[in-house]
Amino acid sequence: MRMSSLFLRTLREDPADAELPGHRLLVRAGYIRRAAPGIYTWLPLGLKVLRRVETIVREEMDAIGAQELTFPALLPREPYEATNRWTEYGDNIFRLKDRKGVDYLLGPTHEEMFTLAVKDLYSSYKDLPLSIYQIQNKYRDEARPRAGLLRGREFVMKDSYSFDVSDEGLQASYDAHRAAYIRIFDRLGFEYVIVAAMSGAMGGSASEEFLAVSAIGEDTFVRNDSGSYAANVEAVVVAQAAAVDASGTPAAHVEDTPDTPTIETLVAALNANHAREDGREWTAADTLKNVIVMLVHPDGTREPLAIGVPGDREVDAKRLEAQVSPAEVEAFDEKDFAANPTLAKGYIGPGVLGEERSSGIRYLLDPSIAEGSAWVTGADEHGKHVLDLVHGRDFTADGTIQAAEVRDGDPSPDGDGVLHTARGIEMGHIFQLGRKFAEALDLKVLDENGKLVTVTMGSYGIGVSRAVAAIAEGNLDESGLCWPRNVTPADVHVVATGKNRDRDGSVFDKADELTAALEAQGLEVLYDDREKVSPGVKFKDSELIGVPTIVVVGKSLENGVVEIKDRRTGERREVAVDEVVDEVLREVRGDASGATKAGA
RNA sequence: CGGGGUAUGGCGCAGCUUGGUAGCGCGUCCGCUUUGGGAGCGGAAGGUCGCCAGUUCGAAUCUGGCUACCCCGACCA
The CA distance from A349 to A98, in Å, is 55
- Residue A213: is its pLDDT beyond 50? yes
Which nt sits closest to A322, CA to C1'?
A: B76
- The answer to whether residue A15 is domain-embedded is no
Most confident option among A164-168, A341-345, A358-362: A164-168
Q: How long is the CA A548 to C1' B9 vector, in angstroms?
A: 36
Nucleotide closest in space to A139 (CA vs C1'): B77
Q: How far is the CA of A540 from the C1' of B71 (A)?
A: 30
Q: What is the mean pLDDT of residues A121-136?
A: 93
CA-CA distance, A476 to A438, in Å (whole number)? 44
Instruction: List the nucleotides on chain B closer than 7 A to a protein CB.
Output: 1-2, 11-13, 25-27, 34-39, 68-77
Is the domain of A328 the same as that of A190?
no
Provide the H-helix boundaries in A247-314. Answer: 263-273
- Answer yes or no: is A220 within a domain: yes
Contact A427, A189 (CB under 8 A): no
Kindly report which listed range (A266-270, A468-472, A548-552) carries the lowest average pLDDT score: A266-270
Instruction: Find the residue closest to B73 using CA and C1' atoms.
Output: A144
Same domain, A446 and A575: no
Per-residue pLDDT tens over the stretch A232-284: 888 887 877 788 887 888 887 877 877 777 787 877 777 778 777 788 888 88
What CATH number should be reported for the domain holding residue A202? 3.30.930.10
The radius of gyration of chain A from alpha carbons, rounded to an integer in Å, stands at 30
Q: Closest nucleotide to A537's CA, by C1' atom?
A: B38
Mean pLDDT lowest among A74-88, A327-341, A500-514, A526-540: A327-341
Rounded distance, CA A47 to CA A263, Å?
Answer: 54
- The protein residue nearest B27 (Cα–C1') is A11
Lowest average pLDDT, out of A29-38, A117-126, A244-253, goes to: A244-253
Report how far residue A33's alpha carbon sits from residue A27's, in angstroms, rounded to the nearest whole number: 6
Interval A185-201 mean pLDDT: 81
Q: Is pLDDT above 80 for A82? A: no
CATH number at residue A370: 3.90.960.10
Output the distance from A435 CA to B13 C1' rounded to whole Å. 58
Nearest to A8 by CA among A42, A58, A52, A34: A42
A574: which residues sit within 8 A by CB, 6+ positions away? Answer: A556, A559, A561, A562, A563, A564
Same domain, A311 and A169: no
Q: Which nucleotide is nearest to A561 (CA to C1')?
A: B36
Nearest-nucleotide field for A108 (CA, C1'): B77
CA A541 to C1' B47, in angstroms, rounded, equals 29
Count of domains observed in chain A:
3
From the CA of A479 to the C1' of B16: give the distance in Å. Answer: 37
ipTM of the shown complex: 0.87
Closest residue to B12 (CA to C1') is: A13
- In whole angstroms, B76 C1' to A143 CA is 8
Structural domain contains residue A460: yes
**Whether the predicted pLDDT of A129 surpasses 80:** yes
Q: How far apart are CA A371 and CA A357, in angstroms?
A: 20
The pLDDT value recorded for residue A69 is 95
Nucleotide nearest to A555 (CA to C1'): B36
Residue A261 is classified by DSSP as -
Instruction: Write down the pLDDT at residue A200.
Output: 56
CA–centroid distance for A284 within its chain: 33
Q: Return the closest nucleotide (C1') to the Cα of A14.
A: B12
- A408 in a domain, yes or no? no
What's the CA–C1' distance between A16 and B62, in Å? 29
Residues A122, A176 within the same domain? yes
Rounded, the Å distance between the CA of A143 and C1' of B74 is 10
CA distances from A446 to A171, A451, A501, A592 (A): 20, 5, 73, 48
Please report whether residue A411 resides in a domain: no
Q: According to the model, what pLDDT value does residue A463 have? A: 92
Most confident of A136-150, A192-206, A508-522: A508-522
CA of A503 to C1' of B76 (A): 59
Look up the protein residue whose alpha carbon has the minimum distance to the C1' of B28. A9
* Separation of A531 CA and B19 C1' (Å): 49
Domain shared by A587 and A457, yes or no: no
How confident is residue A598, by pLDDT bands cut at 50, 70 and 90? Answer: very low
Check whether residue A554 and residue A433 sit in a common domain: no
Residue A95: which residues within 8 A CB-CB, separation 6 or more? A103, A104, A105
pLDDT at A37 over 60: yes
Q: Which nucleotide is nearest to A429 (CA to C1')?
A: B77
Q: What is the pLDDT of residues A152-179, one digit of tens each?
A: 888 999 999 999 999 999 999 999 999 9
Indicate whether A339 belongs to any domain: yes
Give me the pLDDT at residue A411, please: 84
Confidence of residue A591 (pLDDT cuts 50, 70, 90): low
- Distance, angstroms, CA A15 to C1' B69? 13
Q: Under a CB-based contact definition with an 8 Å cutoff, are residues A210 and A470 in contact?
A: no
Amino acid, single-letter form, for residue A239: A
* CA–C1' nearest nucleotide, residue A427: B77
CA of A547 to C1' of B45 (A): 35
Beta bridge partners of A158: A135, A462
Q: Which of the nucleotides lies closest to A465 (Cα–C1')?
A: B77
Same domain? For A53 and A187 the reply is yes
Residue A235 pLDDT: 80
Q: pLDDT at position A599, please?
A: 32
Q: Are residues A186 and A308 in the same domain?
A: no
For residues A2-7, give the mean pLDDT.
90
* Assigned domain for A494 exists: yes
Three-state DSSP at A217 gives: coil
pLDDT band at residue A199 using 50, 70 and 90 as cut-offs: low
Residue range of the domain that includes A528: 490-599
- Rounded to an integer, what distance in angstroms lies between the CA atom of residue A592 and that of residue A588? 6
A270/A367 same-domain check: yes
Residues A71 and A105 in one domain: yes
pLDDT at residue A309, as a whole number: 85
Q: What is the CATH number of the domain that holds A538?
A: 3.40.50.800
The 10s digit of each residue's pLDDT in A425-444 is 889 999 988 888 888 888 99
Distance A36 CA to B10 C1' (A): 17
**Terminal alpha carbon distance of chain A:** 27
Using the structure, give the distance in angstroms from the CA atom of A36 to the C1' atom of B53, rounded to a whole number. Answer: 29
pLDDT tens digit string along A275-324? Answer: 777 888 888 888 888 888 887 776 777 788 888 888 888 888 778 777 77
Q: Give domain status of residue A246, yes or no.
A: no
Q: Is the pLDDT of residue A211 over 60?
A: yes
Q: What is the pLDDT of residue A181?
A: 95
Distance A451 CA to B52 C1' (A): 69
| Mean pLDDT rounded to a whole number for chain A | 85
Can you say how many angstroms the Cα of residue A293 is from the centroid of all Cα atoms in its chain? 26
Q: Residues A427, A396: one domain?
A: no
A544/A578 same-domain check: yes
> Which residue's CA shows the smallest distance to C1' of B13?
A16
Nearest nucleic acid nucleotide to A37, CA to C1' distance: B69
Q: Which of A400, A428, A450 is the C-terminal boundary of a domain? A: A400
DSSP code at position A76: E
**H helices within A387-453, ranges in order?**
436-440
CB-CB contact of A547 with A492 (8 Å): yes
